Amino acid sequence: MAKRASRKRVTAKPKYQFDAIVIGSGPGGEGVAMQLAKAGKKVAIVEKYELVGGGCTHWGTIPSKALRHSVSRLIEYNSNPLFNDSEKAHHLTFEQILSHASSVIRKQTQLRRGFYERNRVTVLHGEASFVDEHTLKINHPDGSVETLTAEQFAIATGSRPYTPKDVDFNHPRVYNSDTILSLNHDPKSIIIYGAGVIGTEYASIFRGMDVKVDLVNMRERLLSFLDAEISDAISYHLWNSGIVIRHNEQYESIEGRDDGVVLNLQSGKKMKADCLLFANGRTGNTDMLNLSAVGLEADGRGQLRVDANYKTSIDNIYAVGDVIGYPSLASAAYNQGRFAGEAMLQGESHSTLVEDIPTGIYTIPEISSVGKTEQELTAQKVPYEVGRAQFKHLARAQIAHSLVGGLKIIFHRETKEVLGIHCFGERASEIVHIGQAIMQQGGSANSIDYFVNTTFNYPTMAEAYRVAAINGLNRLFT
């Protein structure tokens, strides 16, 4: 009797519609999708909004910075006697200035959509929620529901303004940092509650439009994470422009009226203005994802915990951007997305964010810094010295009439290693990158001597590095 041929039992690999689905098309989601698509993976990206780009493009970074640029140019025009020879300064409404931001948003959206098309990433519009670890339900705007499967997922849903329940954000005079972009009247006064990065940026914008601004800060000093000198500089500049800053205040209640808004503070003070911008924190967009279906849980701020490879506690689900917290920057989110994509492909990422991430605050003038502050180094007992350059002494600044602010270099007084760069003034967020590049070299290449020994174009704002370096080195003695 012939023996029957033995057959090996083969377990079929589960088939999914996509190798990966990315939820959210902001910088983080785009970084993941591009990394996977360029590696030949079949990728889909789900965006709740009708256009790609995420909050960064439509409500946050792009529109606010475009607004800031337009207002800054308006201030420059009105203050420059070469252009403004009339007795009355030129005035534009918020709605008029917003038209420039709309143009930038449109161009950015078209650009990002092109990335997905060229890399054959499927773009789906709708609200996503998990069914299980490999299944996603999408509620489309037309009311239809679609179920998709994937081997891996990346959560990049971003964040939204924190909106406490005791504040009526449906009132037409009460705004958050998203809805302020729909402001269609011309306020004479505004209260900004929250003096963090967003609050101070919008305070500059509105004051530049000649709107009376009250800025309410919950802390003892403005932007207290900055080097104290820079914090003092922006505080003085805002005060000098006419902004009233109130420190150590908390709201008791906010009353929306037909003719404006009344802010009642816990200290007993009352304030009234045409409208109010509530800019006190943000919340991760995770509450709509049905995370419990996959065994995930966000913290009280809607954020997810991830490991060094941006993987959550569920092996096939990753998260990047605002939903994982610090540093909550568009620039960092894109890199996080790329690194997470690498981990999704290879099991781990061989890249990490730079240790010293630059901070850019788009007030008028700008603030930017990278590395340590004087306060941090003093607490750590690090022997340092400081070199300073004031922009008003630079030929390029005099030509451009950008005389406010300066550059500050903090360096180790023994090794001359550059430890921190702090800049306040026009184009600060660009100028800081020169110092950042030297700091990233490490070892003996990271030395303040570089700024003295190299040759800068003249006249440029970059010359501030040479001036500051010489100033600092002249303070050394043995």
User: Is 358 among the domain residues?
Assistant: no
Judge if 287 and 425 occupy the same domain. Answer: no
**What domain range includes position 384?**
365-473
Q: Which one is predicted more confidently, 67 or 253?
A: 253
Query: For the chain, what is the domain count?
Result: 3
Judge if 412 and 295 occupy the same domain. Answer: no
Q: Identify the weakest region by mean pLDDT among 186-195, 349-358, 422-431.
A: 349-358
| CATH number, residue 375 | 3.30.390.30
User: Given this model, what pLDDT does residue 87 score?
Assistant: 56
Q: For residue 336, is pLDDT > 50?
A: yes
Cβ-based burial of 130 (10 A; exposed 0-12, middle 13-18, buried ≥19): buried
**Residues that constitute the known binding site for FAD:** 47-56, 65, 157-159, 322
**Residues that constitute the known binding site for NAD(+):** 194-201, 281
Q: For residue 299, is pLDDT > 90?
A: yes
CA proximity to 249, closest of 215, 272, 282 = 215
**Residues that constitute the known binding site:** 47-56, 65, 157-159, 194-201, 281, 322
Extended beta strands in 258-401, E state: 260-265, 270-273, 275-278, 282-284, 317-319, 359-361, 367-371, 384-390
Cβ-based burial of 9 (10 A; exposed 0-12, middle 13-18, buried ≥19): exposed
Q: How confident is the model at residue 478 (pLDDT cuts 50, 70, 90)?
A: confident
* Contact predicate 111/123, CB 8 Å: no
Please give the average per-residue pLDDT across 160-184, as a whole number.
94
Q: For residue 7, is pLDDT > 70?
A: no
Q: How confident is the model at residue 2 (pLDDT cuts 50, 70, 90)?
A: very low
User: Given this model, what pLDDT does residue 94 score?
Assistant: 82
C-alpha distances in Å from residue 44, one per residue of 32, 52, 115, 134, 146: 11, 13, 13, 14, 13
Judge if 181 and 215 occupy the same domain. Answer: yes
User: Given this model, what pLDDT does residue 91 score?
Assistant: 76
**Where is the domain boundary, 280, 313, 329?**
280
- What does the pLDDT look like over 423-459, one tens digit per residue? 999 999 999 999 999 999 988 899 999 999 999 999 9
User: Taking all residues of the chain, what is their mean pLDDT, rounded to a whole number?
Assistant: 93
Judge if 142 and 201 occupy the same domain. Answer: no
Q: Taking the CB of residue 456, how many other CB atoms lie within 10 A of it? A: 15
Quote the CA–CA distance of 441 and 201 in Å, as a whole number: 32
Judge if 42 and 131 occupy the same domain. Answer: yes
Please give the average per-residue pLDDT across 336-362, as a whole number.
94
CA proximity to 432, closest of 376, 367, 373 = 367
Judge if 192 and 321 occupy the same domain. Answer: no
Q: What is the DSSP string of 295-323?
A: T----TTS-----TTSB-SSTTEEE-GGG
Q: How confident is the model at residue 95 (pLDDT cuts 50, 70, 90)?
A: confident
Q: For the chain, how big is the Rg over CA atoms in Å?
A: 26
Quote the CA–CA distance of 461 and 423 in Å, as a whole number: 11
